[in-house]
Chains A and B, each alone.
Chain A
């Protein structure tokens, strides 16, 4: 079945550092890929998405490229801020007659001033 594997956290970075959170997937067919972000005490929010191979999703300075050859969708940001501290979830949208989403276990990011 479909699965998503993302790097374990927590990840601690200094402000303005470069961020990479790795995500790889296993899926049949042609899934869509998503990154969601969860701030403390809140639900998940869509951060970005990509729907086909070589697509790049971007939002708020974050980027991720859908790499079919390596089955990866790594999240990157060039310069993180304290306000980026949150839990990040990689997710896969597969086929199943409804909008089935498989989530990774989440990576907690802490940015220190």
Chain B
């Protein structure tokens, strides 16, 4: 019963470094999401993938790229990290289908600090 698994759990980067956050789900969900969580701002959607082979920008996509590798995996890449990207990143998935009744299932997050 793994659900949504994110790696790594913690990471410290220097400004300008790159890294990829990994996410995998084992619930056969079609849709996957990346959010960032900052104090006082709730969750903000970075990118989403409604189904395998498609990705779209969310509310705050600048500075990020994503890859939907297959139905299970959805990665988030920071090409050149900036201090403003210090945050907690959550991956989520939902399905089957894309109806508005579907709740999202979250991983435990990646805590990323950029110095």
Contact = CB atoms under 8 A, between A and B. Distances in A.
Interface of A: 31-32, 34, 41-46, 49, 51, 89, 93-95, 97-101, 103-106
A93 B100 contact: yes
Contact of A103 (B40, B43, B50, B98): B43
18 contacts: A31-B100, A32-B100, A32-B101, A41-B108, A42-B109, A43-B4, A43-B107, A44-B90, A93-B100, A98-B48, A98-B50, A99-B31, A99-B100, A99-B102, A101-B104, A103-B42, A103-B43, A105-B41
B53 interface: no
A89 B43 contact: yes
A105 B98 contact: no
Q: Is the interface of B mostly helix, strand, loop or mixed?
A: loop
A44 B99 CA distance: 20
Interface of B: 4, 31, 40-43, 48, 50, 56, 90, 92, 94-95, 98-109
Given A43-B90, A43-B106, A99-B31, A93 B40 contact: no
B43 A93 contact: no
A43 B108 contact: yes
Contacts of A41: 108
Most buried by A among B41, B103, B109: B103
A101 B50 CA distance: 13
A43 B109 contact: yes
Contacts of B92: 43-44
A41 B10 CA distance: 11
Contacts of A94: 100
A29 B115 CA distance: 44
